[in-house]
Structure 1
Amino acid sequence: MSRKYFEEEVIQQTLDYNYAQHSDADKFNIAYGIDKNFLFGCGVSIASVLLANPEKALAFHVFTDFFDSEDQQRFEALAKQYATQIVVYLIDCERLKSLPSTKNWTYATYFRFIIADYFSDKTDRVLYLDADIACKGSIQELIELNFAENEIAAVVAEGELEWWTKRSVSLATPGLVSGYFNAGFILINIPLWTAENISKKAIEMLKDPEVVQRITHLDQDVLNILLVNKARFVDKKFNTQFSLNYELKDSVINPVDAETVFVHYIGPTKPWHSWGAYPVSQYFLQAKSNSPWSHCALLNPVTSHQLRYAAKHMFNQKHYTSGINYYIAYFKRKLLE
């Protein structure tokens, strides 16, 4: 009996942009699961990994439900530019749309389960990354990482003991006091993930009303429950989280340092937003300028949520006229909602 929850029929189309000069046997696989709103970020994220790791044999896999002709041109140009392989998979999302979602987490968050199932008989490990991650260092340590016998994944802890304790109580999982991880970075041990039926168990939990009542971070909570005592915690340099909205606080501590490998821009304001112009955005912007997106403008606010944040950031950056204009646009938009 198959241990996959998602068979390959969910993949409607595959586009393989292969300009790599290395053999398939040598490559390290990196995967993203995104909707149309994160294609810009994803392309630049891939560019950042390639910029920081020029000699590595890498292959990138993008699982998405939207990919137009402009996206095709840019992703193929990116593969050509860096002599790498980028494979795009168009996904049928119908089976995912009944699962819980929020304003910040759409059904695309569940693509990581399709990713793990897709690779179940193809390779022994895949690095899953959120598309709002920029790379600024070597990933050689991850390429060389050897899993212990019971380790299903390598992850990075989020927060400290107080947060872990709260999650352990909320999720009725005492083992989480030893660490709760952010699911934006997961190095998946594919054979053990498959043997333990993680994708199937996770989807079943997400369909259970009692579980859904307890969770606040959707599949991240579920994965923490399923992988308790079965994941290896690696250094925070592999998932250094920072929200650009922290810049609105009176004092800001930037956790990114010389050792950081992945900068994870959590929160609703992203470095591809026109109002996210801060020094910490440089890792994204540097990769953008060395990619087919180099001439693309940063995105302006569209929703009322974005307009409100744009106004706050413009005032914070002392661009007062823009801030006032965004607040006016925000209030007009709210009247129409």
Structure 2
Amino acid sequence: MPTIRHQDAFHIAFCVDNHYFRAMGAMIASIIAHNPRRRFVFHVFAFHVSEDNARRMKEIELNPDIQVVPHVVDPSLFQGFADMIASSYYSLSTFTRLIVPSVLKDVTDRVFYLDADMLCIGSLDELAAMDLEDTVALVVEDVGWSTPEGRDGRYSVLGMKARHYFNAGILYINIHEWEKHRISETAIELLLSNREKLTFNDQDALNIVLEGRVRYIPIKWNYIYSMIADLKRGKLSMDAVGDAVILHFAGLIKPWNDWSGHVARELYLRYHALSAWRDTPLDTAPLNHKEMRIHSRSLMKRGRIALGLYWYLRFAQAALARKLKR
């Protein structure tokens, strides 16, 4: 474990693969831009870090108040769950977020876990000052569009008593309490014994295991913005986000999908230009059949019928090819 230079730093963790380093870079740049007087240690968990991504992470450290610590996840970290994982169809990547507290328990007493498909548009001072002493983690309520049954239906399906269900894209974790209650171990055991029921994998498992042990904080700390909902209506502008501090672009369409034409791209580009991945291009065309279908629908909703039909044909061909491969 590299030496942590800033003992008073705010610790943030990401779990990424090589496709998400670019997104994480923009998120890190946005955090730094809106919190210029705060020291940060960014912990990056990945199964593989390319030489190029390692170089870019070192570039971030040119800022003396920032440290970026890569954690190359070795399967041995899952040794305690080896038998359970070996007898399941889950890949190790499903469990990566769950090992963050145990890896960092001797480094810091609290860590702010974040998904990489986010942007910070405000100060984290209020969050950093929050008391975690009486809770395992601070979480934010999920929104109905991201769970097929809606919030009520989701907690009902999972057999939870409380009428709450959180989105695990952010978790402000009290590491001591997390470890004391064996949250990760229990969540993994639950995942492996309830595969069909836990549609949202570790998010579902964490909601069950952490019921009654978390504190809900305002939605501004995980404001989920659905670009796909806009595009399906042919809408390219962004709705107002109120007092949101962290925007979470959950769902299929992301602000680095340049082909979408959505205004969210402009917000993303603002921070992408400040990041160590600033010279990496955005996605200029849909990459899979699902993106092609959304692009086709958006174009036709906006009256661009010919182009929309072209992308619908591309979607149909890609979907057929995928079906024939099965």
Task: Return the TM-score normalized by structure 2.
Answer: 0.85
**Is the partner of 1:32 in helix, strand or coil?**
strand
Q: Give the match for residue 123 of structure 1.
A: 108
Q: Give the match for residue 267 of structure 1.
A: 251
Counterpart pick for 2:212 among 229, 251, 269: 229
Q: Give the match for residue 279 of structure 2.
A: 295
CA RMSD of aligned residues (A): 2.7
Change (3 A) 1:249 1:321: closer
Q: Give the match for residue 4 of structure 1.
A: none
How many percent identity over aligned positions? 29
> 1:282-318, CA deviations, whole angstroms, 9 ceiling, x for partnerless residues?
3322110112322321123222223222333444566
Q: Indicate whether 1:70 and 2:55 are aligned.
A: no
CA contact (8 A) 1:273 1:298 kept: yes
Map 1:103-114 → 2, pairs under 5 A:
107-114=92-99
CA contact (8 A) 2:44 2:70 kept: yes
Q: 1: CA distance between counterparts of 2:225 and 2:202?
A: 21
How far 1:158 sits from its partner (Å)?
A: 1.1
Q: Indicate whether 1:239 and 2:222 are aligned.
A: yes
Q: 2: CA distance between counterparts of 1:254 and 1:213?
A: 36
Q: Give the match for residue 11 of structure 1.
A: none
> 1:228-247, CA deviations, whole angstroms, 9 ceiling, x for partnerless residues?
11111111100000121011
Change (3 A) 1:205 1:297: same
Map 1:270-281 → 2, pairs under 5 A:
270-281=254-265
Q: Give the match for residue 7 of structure 1.
A: none
Change (3 A) 1:171 1:135: same
Q: Give the match for residue 54 of structure 1.
A: 36
Q: Indicate whether 1:216 and 2:199 are aligned.
A: yes
**Is the partner of 2:196 in helix, strand or coil?**
helix
After superposing the two structures, state which structure 1 stretch, 78-87 or 247-256, moved more: 247-256
CA contact (8 A) 2:234 2:299 kept: no
Which stretches in structure 2 are left out of the alignment for 5+ residues? Answer: none
Q: 2: CA distance between counterparts of 1:84 and 1:213?
A: 42
> 1:127-162, CA deviations, whole angstroms, 9 ceiling, x for partnerless residues?
00000011000001121111242x1000001137x9
Counterpart pick for 1:191 among 151, 169, 176: 176
Q: 2: CA distance between counterparts of 1:64 and 1:327?
A: 35
Map 1:1-337 → 2, pairs under 5 A:
23-80=5-62, 83-93=65-75, 107-149=92-134, 151-159=135-143, 163-175=150-162, 177=163, 179-208=164-193, 211-250=194-233, 256-299=240-283, 300-316=285-301, 322-337=307-322
Change (3 A) 1:144 1:164: same
Q: 2: CA distance between counterparts of 1:125 and 1:205?
A: 24
**Is the partner of 1:275 in helix, strand or coil?**
helix
Change (3 A) 1:326 1:79: farther
How far 1:224 sits from its partner (Å)?
A: 0.7
CA contact (8 A) 1:99 1:107 kept: no
Change (3 A) 1:332 1:166: closer
Change (3 A) 1:315 1:215: same
Q: 1: CA distance between counterparts of 2:150 and 2:294?
A: 26
How far 1:99 sits from its partner (Å)?
A: 5.3
> 1:176-216, CA deviations, whole angstroms, 9 ceiling, x for partnerless residues?
x1x210000100010000000001111111111xx222221
Change (3 A) 1:309 1:66: farther
CA contact (8 A) 1:100 1:107 kept: no
CA contact (8 A) 1:33 1:64 kept: yes
CA contact (8 A) 1:153 1:230 kept: yes
CA contact (8 A) 2:28 2:275 kept: no
Which stretches in structure 1 are left out of the alignment for 5+ residues? Answer: 1-13
Task: Return the TM-score normalized by structure 1.
Answer: 0.82
**Is the partner of 1:215 in helix, strand or coil?**
coil
CA contact (8 A) 2:232 2:298 kept: no
